[in-house]
């Protein structure tokens, strides 16, 4: 398939993207960046972590997205007393047959809403890790494949809030994006007031995307062209997170650990998804810059010195982006 044919197919196939945005706009006010990132996750079959204080519509956004798709959806409320078997399933003894049979848990769905994921204990996080990376679950001696697609869309409150715990770095690295959800503007909050200050607010969306359409779109995303210069730009950005002193000596003592190669892969994949959403058959450096914060913010560990100076991970990424030449 040549570039023109691919471009024509993308222009036809991406028509569902504005339909999803319009449908989600019926229950969400503002949060355009959040909606964009959720659609990027769909197109990449990648897990997404949403972080923000309570009440910013994180859970509502995920439920609204799932309502736009004709697919299976499970909501899991993570609590300190949650057990791995509550998530994955367990073996149940059948006295009539004198044998154990597997009862599969709610994780066997296409889209999983892991609500307040950072309130669950370490055993549950470890059980979720295999599902997120391998797309499979082991119960007893048997391994069961998870549905395709399988996405974990998780929410968490900031870790300085009561009853929350830092997720392990290995698990954080499995998330394609970590999206920070911010407060609405005054105008948006007025709209929220007008729309939601009623005993019967609108929380439901209707299906507008078939799974076959989504599968075709994912196939096209994987064919989107990335120029060698843009590929080198992606690698350089991630490389600088590991050796920041090469571009800025002041960054040397502010980053304890840089991003893994998974960041390189995910940044390229997310940029392809963004290009598809815009109806393009190629990735631009602006796609990379637009998604760099969401891909890198949970993969960079600031040093104790950075924390003492109130230097945030986002500000470190800003400085890296300003130092690395754009092709």
Taken as a whole, the chain contains a residue count of: 327
Tell me how crowded residue 170 is: count the other CB atoms within 10 A of its CB.
12
Q: Give the pLDDT of residue 292.
A: 94
In the chain, where the domains are located: 28-194, 224-323
Question: Rounded to an integer, what distance in angstroms lies between the CA atom of residue 87 and that of residue 104?
Answer: 9
Q: Is the four-CA dihedral 119, 122, 128, 132 of positive or negative sign? A: positive
Contacts of 125 (CB under 8 A, 6+ apart): 117, 167, 168, 171
Q: Give the pLDDT of residue 240.
A: 92
Tell me the chain's radius of gyration from C-alpha atoms.
21
Q: Give the pLDDT of residue 184.
A: 87
Question: Rounded to an integer, what distance in angstroms lies between the CA atom of residue 245 and that of residue 239?
Answer: 11
Q: Give the pLDDT of residue 5.
A: 84
Question: Rounded to an integer, what distance in angstroms lies between the CA atom of residue 123 and that of residue 82?
Answer: 9
3-state class (DSSP) for residue 96: coil
Q: Give the pLDDT of residue 267.
A: 95
Cβ atoms 176, 50 nearer than 8 A: no
Residue range 28-194 in CATH 2.60.120.890: no
pLDDT string in tens for the chain (327-residue length): 677 888 888 888 889 999 999 999 888 888 888 999 999 999 999 999 999 888 888 888 998 998 898 888 888 888 888 888 888 888 787 787 777 777 888 889 889 999 888 888 888 888 888 888 888 888 878 888 998 889 999 998 886 666 667 788 888 889 999 999 988 889 988 988 888 877 777 778 888 888 889 999 999 999 999 999 999 999 999 999 998 888 878 888 888 888 989 999 999 999 999 999 999 999 999 999 999 999 999 998 888 888 888 888 899 999 999 998 888
Question: Rounded to an integer, what distance in angstroms lies between the CA atom of residue 143 and that of residue 237?
Answer: 38
Q: Give the pLDDT of residue 235.
A: 95
φ/ψ bin of 203: left (φ > 0), alpha (ψ from -120 to 50), beta (otherwise): alpha
Q: Give the pLDDT of residue 236.
A: 94
From the options 3.40.50.300, 1.10.8.80, 3.40.50.720, 3.40.50.620, give the CATH code of 224-323.
1.10.8.80
Q: Give the pLDDT of residue 160.
A: 62
For residue 183, CA distances in Å to 24, 35, 57, 126, 196 come to 18, 15, 10, 32, 16
Cβ atoms 39, 28 nearer than 8 A: no
* pTM above threshold 0.85: yes
Same fold, 28-194 and 224-323: no
Q: Give the pLDDT of residue 162.
A: 64
Q: Give the pLDDT of residue 293.
A: 94
Q: Give the pLDDT of residue 50.
A: 92
C-alpha 170 chain-centroid distance: 15
Contacts of 183 (CB under 8 A, 6+ apart): 56
Cα torsion 28, 33, 39, 42 to 10°: value is -110
Bridge partners, 51 (sequence order): 156, 180
């Amino acid at each position: 398939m040549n570039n023109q044919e691919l471009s024509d197919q993308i222009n036809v196939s991406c028509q569902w993207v504005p339909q999803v945005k319009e449908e989600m706009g019926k229950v969400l006010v503002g949060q355009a960046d959040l909606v964009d990132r959720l659609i990027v996750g769909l197109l990449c079959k990648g897990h997404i972590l949403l972080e923000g204080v309570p009440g910013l519509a994180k859970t509502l956004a995920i439920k609204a997205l799932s309502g736009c798709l004709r697919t299976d959806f499970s909501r899991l409320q993570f609590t300190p007393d949650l057990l791995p078997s509550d998530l994955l399933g367990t073996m149940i003894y059948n006295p009539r047959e004198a044998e154990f049979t597997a009862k599969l848990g709610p994780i066997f769905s296409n889209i999983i809403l892991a609500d307040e994921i950072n309130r669950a204990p370490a055993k549950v996080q470890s059980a979720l890790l295999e599902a997120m990376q391998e797309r499979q679950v082991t119960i007893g001696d048997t391994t069961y494949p998870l549905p395709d697609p399988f996405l974990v869309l998780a929410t968490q409150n900031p870790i300085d809030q009561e009853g929350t715990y830092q997720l392990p770095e290995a698990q954080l690295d499995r998330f394609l994006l970590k999206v920070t959800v911010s407060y609405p503007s005054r105008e948006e909050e007025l709209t929220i007031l007008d729309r939601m200050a009623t005993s019967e607010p609108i929380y439901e969306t209707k299906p507008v995307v078939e799974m076959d359409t989504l599968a075709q779109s994912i196939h096209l995303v994987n064919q989107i062209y990335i120029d060698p210069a843009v590929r080198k730009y992606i690698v350089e950005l991630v490389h600088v997170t590991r050796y920041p002193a090469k571009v800025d000596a002041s960054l040397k003592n502010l980053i304890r650990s840089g991003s893994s190669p998974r960041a390189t892969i995910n940044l390229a994949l997310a940029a392809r998804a963004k290009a598809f959403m815009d109806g393009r058959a190629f990735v631009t450096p602006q796609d990379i810059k637009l998604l760099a914060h969401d891909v890198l913010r949970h993969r960079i560990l600031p040093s104790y010195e950075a924390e003492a100076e109130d230097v945030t991970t986002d500000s470190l990424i800003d400085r890296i982006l300003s130092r690395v030449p754009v092709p």
